[in-house]
Amino acid sequence: FEVSTIKFLFKEIFKASLNLQNNHQKKEMLVSRKMQPQNTIVDINGEMIGDGSQRFIMGPCAVESYDQVKSVALAMKKQGLTLLRGGAFKPRTSPYDFQGLGERGLQILRKVGDEVGMSVISEIVSSNDVEMALPYVDVIQIGARNMQNFELLKTVGKVDKPVLLKRGLSATIEEFINAAEYIMANGNNQIILCERGIRTYEKATRNTLDISAVPILKKETHLPVIVDVTHSTGRKDLLLPTAKAALAIGADAVMAEVHPDPAVALSDSAQQMNIAEFNEFIEELKVLQKKLALV
Amino acid sequence: FEVSTIKFLFKEIFKASLNLQNNHQKKEMLVSRKMQPQNTIVDINGEMIGDGSQRFIMGPCAVESYDQVKSVALAMKKQGLTLLRGGAFKPRTSPYDFQGLGERGLQILRKVGDEVGMSVISEIVSSNDVEMALPYVDVIQIGARNMQNFELLKTVGKVDKPVLLKRGLSATIEEFINAAEYIMANGNNQIILCERGIRTYEKATRNTLDISAVPILKKETHLPVIVDVTHSTGRKDLLLPTAKAALAIGADAVMAEVHPDPAVALSDSAQQMNIAEFNEFIEELKVLQKKLALV
Amino acid sequence: FEVSTIKFLFKEIFKASLNLQNNHQKKEMLVSRKMQPQNTIVDINGEMIGDGSQRFIMGPCAVESYDQVKSVALAMKKQGLTLLRGGAFKPRTSPYDFQGLGERGLQILRKVGDEVGMSVISEIVSSNDVEMALPYVDVIQIGARNMQNFELLKTVGKVDKPVLLKRGLSATIEEFINAAEYIMANGNNQIILCERGIRTYEKATRNTLDISAVPILKKETHLPVIVDVTHSTGRKDLLLPTAKAALAIGADAVMAEVHPDPAVALSDSAQQMNIAEFNEFIEELKVLQKKLALV
Amino acid sequence: FEVSTIKFLFKEIFKASLNLQNNHQKKEMLVSRKMQPQNTIVDINGEMIGDGSQRFIMGPCAVESYDQVKSVALAMKKQGLTLLRGGAFKPRTSPYDFQGLGERGLQILRKVGDEVGMSVISEIVSSNDVEMALPYVDVIQIGARNMQNFELLKTVGKVDKPVLLKRGLSATIEEFINAAEYIMANGNNQIILCERGIRTYEKATRNTLDISAVPILKKETHLPVIVDVTHSTGRKDLLLPTAKAALAIGADAVMAEVHPDPAVALSDSAQQMNIAEFNEFIEELKVLQKKLALV
């Protein structure tokens, strides 16, 4: 062997021991499947996420009014759904776009949730709002743009409410898992991971649904994994097929947006289903669920 | 109205008329669903692709020997499969990597195909090889790296054999459809489109399976659409879940790689199933197919 | 004309009028060059950014100790530089990585800045820390992961200190400009935009330096634009060539990381220059600046 | 140590020896700087590429007529340029777009080249056309879509003409270098590498100019590296600034498109300069070259 070869070999052995340590660290992550082999099941007022059943989380993109939310909630209730999601704080690209109703929006969600008997899921964008939001929401959503807002992650890691964590716009799966670790390292293990599409060169869809993230996340972590088909595709005609793929690949829930009158929605009007489309969507997926459940 | 506004409006009207023409052109593409509302069904010696049933196309990454191909083919036959795929011409990043057995590889495929009673699918990388390959193959595959090798597309457009066209490494869906149009415009309408993952920033998988490409391609064109789960993921542990997603979303076939002894494979050793894994893979998917077929 | 053509034309005219409105909105953005034709010049204690001269912003990735910062500051001073940048709050992928010294880090930066006569630039990651940080820093940096942390943008929009806003990991230029608009819409027009590489499939560099973002941002906005060559490339051997490209294309400043002993740095050890490399870097760039300034 | 640790360590040592072999292979690539420390200089009828001077390669996107090419060539000649590039075979996304004049286009280029005294560079898209093209062209261009058309690479590797190899639409730098190796392994070492932008999520430019590819390619290989600013940006307003960056970072030539009347061009009309713009472009870059050359 030449001297340079020997040097190189030692460098590689050094690298290898570093990798060994990294792997140990990975193994020691609280969210890791190696740390906890059995699934974490998140209990949202009795509706379980991660127990093998597959749920639906639906609602309008943004809370606009009591009537709007109520009509969606009633339609959901008729279909037997109980997980109502709506945005009160909307992170928008432009400061001049509708930014959501804020606390007023949360109040509407809570009121409707109580009247109709549904659990409320809503995004919080600032650690200062977490305390305020607790009485209104049953699950705190952390949006894609805040997946690495570590201050916010730490704050929701300290509360006693489930957290629905969305994957960042172009976060790697490793970064996504580490973001969840920020929450769990602060004490909160009620975490739901949400694949919502990643940013790629392809423009036929709003984002590219990374469907293989579902089995990877379920293998690497013990957390439930859901799929947001609305933001993944940004196209109403793709909601049903991608939801079918999500169910078949083992997602713990499918999330999508419904609006009583999408044409006048204050945000994402092109990609929300109306009530009739929602009913058709749920009914087709129930048929699929029934088939998949057969022995 | 200001003068600039009027100017702008006229510019937009001009753009609009351009778009109108583009849309006409799109409508007039031979592969377009608007041009032919009913599905194209590709008949491979009696095995139909695109008729609503969902097929399996399997085989080794590269043809290495008669014994290797034969043992895969026999395993496939036992499972009732008839579509054998293997690489004789291997486009490899480095000129020093194994480039395939060439015509000798095609001969092996044909011999095994005839002995076992299977159809042969193999990639051709040069328009000069198309004529030579015709007696050996039942389907000509065009690989991802050649999706915009327009000379090759034109050549296979003139032969009377089905073409399996893979999406380019980072081709848009629009470019993919146009590549198929090159084939059909030259007279060959027996085209199978194959989603095989796209290049993104995510490195947990070899490529990112763009599962929503399946419903988009089926909506935009009348051609059958299949999913190559091996190249999409590059990971054996993801073949089964992504194949399930592909079946659920309506792919006309699933393609994957099998090798009698992946550890010594001359290419892609990490991502090929062995025979036992292949059997398990097919059996699980058959169960899913049965469930999906129930009324 | 067919009826469908007429319908299409009207739809396009409608779209055109929408575009017209969008364009108006764009024109009316406060950061837009259309709104303010002359360059915004940010004055950092007498050192101007955006006046046509080209500055250097340097310092360690993370503040680790008084001695570490002092030795970098003294080296910078010798080269005539006055803009000292160091991280006290470090947003890290893993919760178990070094998170920075926090307020103690800011104190060190301020103390060194005052002793050596330099201005201090440091990242703030939470709107709750902005008030606390004001006495310590001369420029507030908003990091890539917080580019769409709109709460933080609004908060720094209300203070009377320049803001150095880094482009998000995979933010579009349009999103980047809108993020700056969040700051300016809240009253603060002292904004410096920083291109720092975008996330792509290419792994030869940590990120891909999007050098054409510089002329685009200078055309679309009136704000100064700088280039962070360290995070764009993640490679010490590329700092000098990319810095030359940045100066030639008209960046208002070049930002890079220096550490007295990179091998033991608590973060980004591979990509920081040591003092000798820093001196060579600055001297080569000064030669280039001299050449570019010649008539 | 646990057994698993020992196993892991041995696995890593095994990996390390594999890496060692890979590195050897890399070192042994013919295009590698390790194999040949001094620069390859490509001589195009006396105009050197790679000798430290920085050249301009200009011409229309597509050859449309003798008059069109002649007027561009005369304008170039006036500026002292001798490297005329024009497309006779145009790989186009749609089969219905203008595909170039073919051999007739090469004849026009040759005729004009001979009359005006210029060297001719033109893309060849099929290995069958290489022989035919040799009398007409001084440099064979391999386009982005054919960077991994290995049959074509092997063919041009066997001829005695310089090859201008463009980076693939989303090729990694490693794949790009390996594509050049295909040419050199077949005997032709007169290779010019061309960065032309890569495909990313950003849509403000047609592609994203990966400017750091220039120093990386020059470090890894001994081949000259040029930058095509037209296809990198797809915007006329970015040609000059990106060309400046290319010169500053050490590119051996800048390539751009000129058309006597871009508005009526049969391809890429939006991004080609007219003659007046071309003159301004060259004159500004000559000023920069003069400055950069000063001691």
Give me the DSSP letters along chain A: --HHHHHHHHHHHHHHHHHHHHHHHHHT-TTBTTT--SPP-EEETTEEESSS--EEEEE-SB---HHHHHHHHHHHHHTT--EEE-BSS---SSTTS----THHHHHHHHHHHHHHT-EEEEE---HHHHHHHTTT-SEEEE-GGGTT-HHHHHHHTTSSS-EEEEPPTT--HHHHHHHHHHHHHTT---EEEEE--B--S--SSSSB-BTTHHHHHHHHBSS-EEEEHHHHH--GGGHHHHHHHHHHHT-SEEEEEB-SSGGG-SS-GGG-B-HHHHHHHHHHHHHHHHHHH--
Q: Quick check: A21 pLDDT over 80?
A: no
Q: Which residues contact C187 (CB under 8 A, 6 or more apart)?
A: C157, C158
Smallest Cβ–Cβ distance between D294 and the set C173, C233, C294 belongs to C294
> Can you give the pLDDT at residue B95?
94
- In the prediction, which pLDDT does A271 show? 87
Choose the closest CB to C199 out of A126, A146, A170. Answer: A170
Contact A213, A250 (CB under 8 A): no
Q: Which of D198, D204, D244 sits opposite C200 (nearest CB)?
A: D198
Chain C touched by A269 (CB under 8 Å)? no
Q: What is the pLDDT of residue C166?
A: 98
Picking from B92, B94, B170, the nearest residue to D169 by CB comes out as B170
Q: From the list A12, A23, A201, which residue is nearest D16 (CB)? A: A12
Q: Collect the ranges in chain D with pLDDT lower than 70.
A: 1-27, 295
* A157-182 pLDDT tens trace: 999 999 999 999 999 999 999 999 99
The minimum CA-CA distance between A177 and chain C, rounded to whole Å, is 9
Cβ within 8 Å, pair D245-C241: no
Judged by a CB distance cut-off of 8 A, whether residue C215 touches chain D is yes
CA distance D7 to D12: 9
Q: Does pLDDT of A24 surpass 80? A: no
| Residue A270 pLDDT grade (very low, low, confident, very high; cuts 50, 70, 90) | confident
Compute the count of residue pairs across chains C and D with CB atoms less than 8 Å apart: 115
Test the C interface: residue of A93, A132, A172, A203 with most C CBs within 10 Å: A93
How many Cβ atoms sit within 10 Å of the Cβ of residue C75? 19
CB contact under 8 A, D126 and B25: no
- Confirm or reject contact between B295 and chain A (CB < 8 A): no
Question: How does pLDDT run along chain C (295 residues), one tens digit per residue?
Answer: 666 666 666 666 666 666 665 666 666 899 999 999 999 999 999 999 999 999 999 999 999 999 999 999 999 999 999 999 999 999 999 999 999 999 999 999 999 999 999 999 999 999 999 999 999 999 999 999 999 999 999 999 999 999 999 999 999 999 999 999 999 999 999 999 999 999 999 999 999 999 999 999 999 999 999 999 999 999 999 999 999 999 999 999 999 999 999 888 877 777 899 999 999 999 999 999 999 987 6
Chain B partners of C17 at a C-beta cutoff of 8 Å? 9, 12
D-interface mutation test, from A12, A26, A27, A169, most D Cβ less than 10 A away: A12
Q: How many Cα neighbours within 13 Å face the side chain of C60?
A: 36
For the domain made up of A37-293, give the CATH fold.
Answer: TIM Barrel (3.20.20)
Right CATH for D30-293 from 3.90.1150.10, 3.60.21.70, 3.20.20.70, 3.40.50.720: 3.20.20.70
Contact B212 A294 (CB under 8 A): no
**C-alpha separations of D40 from A21, C154, D83, D224 in Å:** 44, 54, 18, 7
What is the nearest CA distance from C285 to chain A, expressed in angstroms? 34
Residues of chain B with pLDDT under 70: 1-27, 295
Q: Does D131 touch chain B (CB under 8 A)?
A: no
**ipTM exceeding 0.85, yes/no:** yes
CA-to-CA distance for C278 and C226, rounded, in angstroms?
Answer: 18
In A, which residues are within 8 Å of C174 by CB distance? 93
What does DSSP assign to residue C295?
A: -
Inter-chain residue contact A249 with B245, CB threshold 8 Å: yes
Which of B30, B126, B147 best tests the D interface by mutation, with the highest count of D CBs <10 A? B126
**What are the beta bridge partners of residue C208?**
C198
Q: What do you get for the CA distance between the two ends of chain C, in Å?
A: 61
Cβ of C199 and B199 within 8 Å? no
Measured between beta carbons, which residues in chain C are less than 8 angstroms from residue D241?
A: 212, 214-215, 249-250
Nearest-Cα distance to chain A for B233, in Å, is 8
Residue pLDDT, tens place only, D133-192 = 999 999 999 999 999 999 999 999 999 999 999 999 999 999 999 999 999 999 999 999
From the candidate CATH numbers 3.40.50.2300, 3.40.50.1100, 3.30.420.40, 3.20.20.70, the one assigned to the domain spanning C36-293: 3.20.20.70
Q: Which residue of A has its CA nearest to C145?
A: A148
Contact yes or no for B174 and D127 at CB 8 A = no
All structural domains of chain A with their residue ranges: 1-30, 37-293
Q: How far apart are the first and last CA of chain D?
A: 61
**For A109-123, how does the pLDDT look when each residue is reduced to its tens digit (9 = 90+)?**
999 999 999 999 999
Amino acid at C221: T
- Rounded Cα–Cα distance for residues D232 and D204 (Å): 11
CA-to-CA distance for C154 and C188, rounded, in angstroms? 9
Q: Is the CB of residue B208 less than 8 Å away from at least one CB of chain A?
A: yes
| pLDDT at site B266 | 79
Taking the Cβ of residue D213 and every Cβ of chain B, the question of whether any pair is shorter than 8 Å is answered with: no
Which residue in chain D has the smallest CA separation from C234? D212
Contact between chains at A248 and B288 (C-beta distance less than 8 A): yes
D279 interfaces chain B, CB cutoff of 8 Å: no
pLDDT 10s digits, A45-98: 999 999 999 999 999 999 999 999 999 999 999 999 999 999 999 999 999 999
Of B173, B202, B242, Cβ closest to residue A173 = B202
Q: Is residue D19 less than 8 Å (CB to CB) from chain A?
A: yes
What residues does D85 pair with on adjacent strands?
A: D121
Q: Which residues of C touch D214 (CB under 8 A)?
A: 241
Chains that touch A (3 or more CB pairs under 8 A): B, C, D
CB contact under 8 A, D178 and B95: yes
Nearest CB partner across the interface for A291, out of B238, B245, B292: B292
Q: Half-sphere exposure of B11 toward its Cβ, with a 13 Å CA cutoff?
A: 8
Q: Which residues contact A247 (CB under 8 A, 6 or more apart)?
A: A54, A254, A285, A288, A289, A292, B248
A 132-191: CB under 8 A from D:
170
Q: Does B280 touch chain D (CB under 8 A)?
A: no
State whether D200 and C215 contact (CB < 8 Å): no
Q: Which residue type occupies C63? A: V
Tokens 């690489």 label which residue?
Answer: B87
Residue of C8, C26, C198 best to disrupt the B interface, most CBs of B under 10 A: C8
Minimum Cα–Cα distance from B247: chain A residue: A245
Rounded CA separation B85/B98 (Å): 18
CB contacts, 8 Å: A201 with chain B:
170, 172, 198
Name every chain C residue with its beta carbon within 8 A of the beta carbon of A175: 93
Q: Where are the alpha helices (DSSP H) in chain C?
A: 3-27, 66-78, 103-116, 127-133, 150-157, 173-185, 213-220, 229-233, 239-249, 275-293
Q: Is C25 on the interface with B (CB under 8 A)?
A: no
If you measure CA to CA, which chain C residue comes closest to B206?
C201
